[in-house]
Amino acid sequence: MSKTKKAAIANKLTQAEYLLNRELSWLEFNCRVLHEAKDERNPLLERLKFTAIFSANLDEFFMVRVSGLMEQVDADVRKLTPDGRSPQQQLDEIHDRLSQTVTEQHRYFEQELRQKLTEFGVYLLNYIDLNQEQRGYLRHFFEERVFPVLTPLAVDPAHPFPRLSNLSLNLLVVVQDPETQKERIARVKVPNTLPRFISFPPALQQHGADCVWVGVPLEQVIAHNLEFLFPGMNIQEYYVFRITRDADFPVQEDEADDLLLAIEQEISKRRLAGFVVRLEVQAAMPEHLRAGLMHELKVGEQSVYPVEGLLNLKDLMYFLSLPLPELKDPPWTPVVPPRLKRFTELESSHDSLSPEDTEEFFALIREGDILVHHPYESFAASVQQFLVCAAYDPHVLAIKMTLYRTSGDSPIVQALIAAAENGKQVAALVELKARFDEENNINWARQLENTGVHVVYGVVGLKTHTKTMLVVRQESDQIRRYVHIGTGNYNPKTAKLYTDLGLLSCREELGADLTDLFNYLTGYSRQQSYRQLLVAPVNMRARMLAFIQREIDHAQQGRTGRIIAKMNSLVDPIMIAKLYEASQMGVEIDLIIRGICCLRPGLPEVSDRIRVVSIVGRYLEHSRIFYFENNGDREVYIGSADWMPRNLDRRVEAITPIADPALATQLIDLLHLMLADNRLAWDLQPDGTYIQRRPQPGEPERNSQTQLMEQARQNL
């Protein structure tokens, strides 16, 4: 094919008609989450969990994505998205879609889930349904526990409208002065320092012997005791409302003398400083009060979402703590990876790690690469143990790792501190710009610095998203490097909830590549070539495009062209155009994309050889796997990057090849297992909608996550 014809095809395949909108695709993903709340095949409390996740996802969507679109509209930005939409068009479509979906979510919770809970002894009541004894208990609770915390704020010429904090739940109260008969407006914040749902002691539950929990929302307790806050006034009416602010903040890294301090200062502003992007109100709020709120908060009609029933349903996560195991997924305890069982059995006989113990762990890696799959296999017994052994091993000289997100009481951070205290040279790259974890990461950075760890914040202008760890060890008369390269954060808590992969290896090429990568991150380096790693923004995009082109070449020469790729999101127009070209040239392509997908599969003569499936289930699919058949010389890669412009161009990412044929086969089998799923899988249609797969009559149910748990059990 001539260069001119290739260029013409490439230009055609980047046209707007061949791309789905990023924001609308994300809304489709969140609708799949909401569907899990409606799916009666899921246990009841898990359905509540998905309802809460849907709301939590929306909060972040508004704080980051919608706020960005609103800023573009205010700045009169007219540049269209790759799919041909203006910022205002996107806002219009988001509002139209969400108005319906949010109404549907709240109606389903109020009419279905809330009622269903009562069948299992869980009664989330309204205050008006309580008897006198229960009201008396709540009045006492209010006086003792709630009243001292509250601060009613008047709204009048002497008291300007208060600054409301992000995601705060509030009461708008109308009171009447009995002397002047004038009505006044006040705001009362529902404190987030108290539980959202207030339960009754067993003696007051009044719902039979099988009752598990009875209670009411905190805002109703406050609302029905407003006379304590406004003595001498007549309480006319009250309504609950909630605001969401822009939470994205810019930091000029190249102008900041101290990046940590600059981000810390921005965090302190975020709670109150961002403009309001969403106003949620009780549907019963009268028009004049709603209009007054809109005026004070400077929001338009498009930013207002009336709600029937409870606001802020993400607080429903509270009910997952109830002692009702039959209403939850069966508990899962991650298994020890088969190759590491020997170490676990050895280590369990000692009170603390001895040099013999740590030597045994590193010896297991020297026997061959180890692939771990969380949460099916234990993070604590593999990745975490790798770091702990390195921290205490007398032969380890240095440890280097990246920290994008970690847990609040992280054993990972404690192991790094122990390593520094044990005389190792320890370097940690802490990403201060990890959205919504900035404050947590600042705290860890300071704690690490105070104990002698070399803390760096990465490369100016780039986020460091790669999940890598390098351990340098003295062995006899040589230095050996051990590595971990993964798809997920070094976070023991999310390792139980997200599906992620990690490779433990001492292959010399990977050790050398990670040494170069960490020098790039911590020092001044223009490293442009790596032996095996694909590194963004250096060579990853070019290498991935070359891999796709190689499959095209095979197909054009009459051989088999085959690609399977698993990611969180597929957005990048250049990568999408290359996949379209591959499809046109005869390459068969299966994509497993959990969330956003801007590629349109199944378009005649464009993408009719491309299939896209999304898997939404008990665990958040987070691993990234890339398989290229390469005419039988199969290549498989795992790593931290999606095919999005930010991952390929604006973040430091690392993807590693899986060199061990047995491990590569294991990953290929994993991909085929997911492609065969008929329980959690959704097929993307050319118009951007999704259809959930269902077992055909007589066909067994294939839940890929359940199957992977069963496989892990069999390896015990």
Measured CA angle at 160 (ends 154, 166), to 5 deg: 90
Catalytic-labelled residue, pool 95, 224, 465, 484 = 465
> Is 120-327's fold the same as 338-532's?
no
In angstroms, the CA 237 to CA 399 distance is 62
Q: What percent of the chain has pLDDT over 70?
A: 91
Q: Is 309 helix (H, G, I), strand (E, B) or coil?
A: coil
Q: For 146-150, 180-184, 353-357, 435-439, which range has the lowest pLDDT when averaged over its residues?
A: 435-439
3-state helix, strand, coil in the chain (%, to 5): 45, 20, 35
Confidence of residue 206 (pLDDT cuts 50, 70, 90): confident
Place of tokens 């976070």: 491
More confident residue, 437 or 116: 116
Mark out the alpha helices in 424-562 (DSSP H runs).
Answer: 438-450, 508-522, 540-556
Mark out the alpha helices in 277-320 (DSSP H runs).
Answer: 287-297
Confidence of residue 162 (pLDDT cuts 50, 70, 90): confident
Confidence of residue 273 (pLDDT cuts 50, 70, 90): low
- CATH classification number, 120-327, choose in 3.40.50.150, 3.30.1840.10, 3.40.309.10, 3.30.379.10: 3.30.1840.10
pLDDT at 142: 96
Question: Is 626:565 a contact under the CB 8 Å cutoff?
Answer: yes
For the cut 90, the answer to whether the pLDDT of residue 405 exceeds it is no
pLDDT at 364: 96
Active site residue 465: yes
pLDDT at 403: 87
The helix or strand, by DSSP H or E, that contains position 365, with its residue range, turns out to be: helix 355-366
User: CATH for 535-714?
Assistant: 3.30.870.10
Q: pTM score, two decimals?
A: 0.92
Burial of 359-391, coded b for 16+ CB within 10 Å and e otherwise, reads bbbbebbeeebbbbbbbbbbbebbbbbbbbbbb
Cβ neighbours of residue 336 closer than 8 Å, sequence gap 6 or more? 344, 377, 378, 381, 382
For the cut 60, the answer to whether the pLDDT of residue 252 exceeds it is no
Token couple for 35 = 């569907």
Q: What is the pLDDT of residues 26-68, one digit of tens each?
A: 999 999 999 999 999 999 999 999 999 999 999 999 999 999 9
For the cut 90, the answer to whether the pLDDT of residue 477 exceeds it is no
For the cut 90, the answer to whether the pLDDT of residue 347 exceeds it is no
pLDDT at 253: 44
For the cut 70, the answer to whether the pLDDT of residue 294 exceeds it is yes
For the cut 50, the answer to whether the pLDDT of residue 296 exceeds it is yes
> Domain residues of the chain, as ranges?
120-327, 338-532, 535-714
Q: Is 505 helix (H, G, I), strand (E, B) or coil?
A: strand
Peptide bond into 573 cis (omega under 30): no
Q: What is the pLDDT of residues 117-137, one digit of tens each?
A: 999 999 999 999 999 999 999
User: CATH for 338-532?
Assistant: 3.30.870.10
pLDDT at 261: 59
For the cut 80, the answer to whether the pLDDT of residue 196 exceeds it is yes
Mean pLDDT, the chain, rounded, equals 91
Token couple for 54 = 């849907």
Question: Is 540:512 a contact under the CB 8 Å cutoff?
Answer: no
Confidence of residue 350 (pLDDT cuts 50, 70, 90): very low
Q: For 251-265, 380-394, 587-601, 609-623, which range has the lowest pLDDT when averaged over its residues?
A: 251-265
For the cut 70, the answer to whether the pLDDT of residue 487 exceeds it is yes
Mark out the alpha helices in 75-163 (DSSP H runs).
Answer: 87-108, 114-118, 132-141
Question: Is 586:580 a contact under the CB 8 Å cutoff?
Answer: no
> Mean of the pLDDT values across residues 430-456?
77
Place of tokens 């061959």: 368
For the cut 70, the answer to whether the pLDDT of residue 242 exceeds it is yes
Q: What is the CA radius of gyration of the chain?
A: 28
Q: What is the pLDDT of residues 504-551, one digit of tens each?
A: 999 999 999 999 999 988 876 667 789 999 999 999 999 999 999 999
In angstroms, the CA 237 to CA 20 distance is 46
In angstroms, the CA 580 to CA 584 distance is 6
Q: For 85-89, 207-211, 288-292, 531-535, which range has the lowest pLDDT when averaged over its residues?
A: 207-211
pLDDT at 463: 86
Token couple for 488 = 């997920």
pLDDT at 10: 56
For the cut 90, the answer to whether the pLDDT of residue 382 exceeds it is yes
pLDDT at 406: 77
> Mean of the pLDDT values across residues 208-226?
92
pLDDT at 448: 86
Question: Is 76:87 a contact under the CB 8 Å cutoff?
Answer: no
In angstroms, the CA 634 to CA 639 distance is 17
Token couple for 451 = 């104990």
Burial-class residue 294 by CB neighbours within 10 Å (0-12, 13-18, 19+).
middle
